[in-house]
Copies of this chain bind each other. A is one copy, B any other.
Amino acid sequence: MIETQIISTEKPKLTKPICIVGLPGIGNIGRIAVDYMVHEMKAKKFAELYSPFFFPFVIVHEDKIHTLRNEFFYTKSKDGRDMILLIGDCQTYDPKGHYEVSGKILDFLESLGCKDIITIGGFSTGALKDKPKVFGVVVDDKDAKALKDKGIETKVSGQIGTIVGASGLLVGLGKLRGMGGFCLLGETSGFPIFTDPNAAEGVLEALKNVLGIDIKLDKLKEKVEEMHDFIKKLQDVQTQGMQEFKPKKNDEELKYIG
């Protein structure tokens, strides 16, 4: 495999689809939020993405080989917009890979008629909160107002300097193709926990509000518990891979969001 590739099992006909992206990142907030949506909305898987920019190993899960991948699901809606849900085992460790993977995802979304993309991630503030905030980072001023009306914090400049990886690039590069969208970032402590269901709940509440969809969140924590083993394994693998395959990082602490 020389380039990132997406293998579809079906080409769904979707009405004005909007894509919600939950890739691994700080607190795995996007990953668990969108995974929960997949389960609750009974979304149907229709494509997988594989990349030579993912770590060059397979993980062993439930006694079987699992090749690292991202997965596309869709939901059909009777009265609203259809949705494409994207979750992933990993992001690439490679700077150039982030651009390639993001570009391939955008190509694929365009081919499905998708013109809007919302990426979900975490924003580490170093503090534990009962009611974590949700930040919205837009590409167009008009979206800022709409988000603010739903109670989402869009004054972010002082606090958020960069958004690393696919979460930022998908929205930023999407705009160059005429796609709209924003990042929804759940406030999280940044302490070394690998899932933050509280922050995920906050983000899902915000998303329900913004999209006008109805998902019950009462089973979220239970689901996160179930995902625990697999996500921990992915996290361990990610850590192992970073040590094995990534150029050395400096000692200084780096602020980082994703």
Residues of A bordering B, CB below 8 Å: 1-3, 7, 23-26, 48, 50-67, 91, 93-100, 102-103, 122, 124, 137-141, 144, 154-157, 160-166, 168-169, 171-173, 175-176, 182-183, 192, 233, 236-240, 242-250, 252-258
If the complex has contacts A65-B171, A66-B172, A164-B57, are A95 and B239 also in contact, measured as CB distance less than 8 A? no
Q: How far is the CB of A47 from chain B (nearest CB, A)?
A: 12
Partner of A243, one of B91, B98, B233, B249: B249
Residues of B near A245 (CB, < 8 A) are 95, 247
Partner of A99, one of B1, B154, B157, B237: B1
Partner of A65, one of B63, B137, B246: B137
Q: How far is the CB of A229 from chain B (nearest CB, A)?
A: 10
Copies of this chain, count? 4
Partner of A254, one of B55, B162, B249: B249
Contact B172 A67 (CB under 8 A): yes
Contact B138 A99 (CB under 8 A): no
Q: Which of A65, A93, A155, A171 has the most CB of B within 10 A?
A: A65
If the complex has contacts A99-B52, A173-B1, are A162 and B59 also in contact, measured as CB distance less than 8 A? yes
Q: How far is the CA of A177 from the CA of B176 in the complex (A)?
A: 30
Q: How far is the CB of A255 from chain B (nearest CB, A)?
A: 7
Contact B96 A53 (CB under 8 A): yes
Residues of B near A67 (CB, < 8 A) are 169, 172-173, 175-176
The residue in chain B whose Cβ has the minimal distance to the Cβ of A253 is: B239
Q: How far is the CA of A133 from the CA of B47 in the complex (A)?
A: 38
Contact A169 B243 (CB under 8 A): no
Q: How far is the CB of A15 from chain B (nearest CB, A)?
A: 27
Residues of B near A258 (CB, < 8 A) are 23-25, 91, 164-166, 238, 257-258
Residues of B near A250 (CB, < 8 A) are 242-243, 248-249
The residue in chain B whose Cβ has the minimal distance to the Cβ of A140 is: B64
Contact B58 A162 (CB under 8 A): yes
The residue in chain B whose Cβ has the minimal distance to the Cβ of A66 is: B172
If the complex has contacts A57-B165, A96-B94, A169-B58, are A64 and B244 also in contact, measured as CB distance less than 8 A? no
The residue in chain B whose Cβ has the minimal distance to the Cβ of A162 is: B57
Q: How far is the CA of A168 from the CA of B21 in the complex (A)?
A: 28
If the complex has contacts A58-B172, A64-B141, are A239 and B257 also in contact, measured as CB distance less than 8 A? no
Contact B95 A63 (CB under 8 A): no
Apart from A48-B176, A63-B137, what are 10 other A-B pairs with CB-CB below 8 Å?
Answer: A52-B98, A56-B96, A60-B156, A60-B157, A66-B172, A124-B257, A164-B244, A239-B253, A245-B247, A247-B248
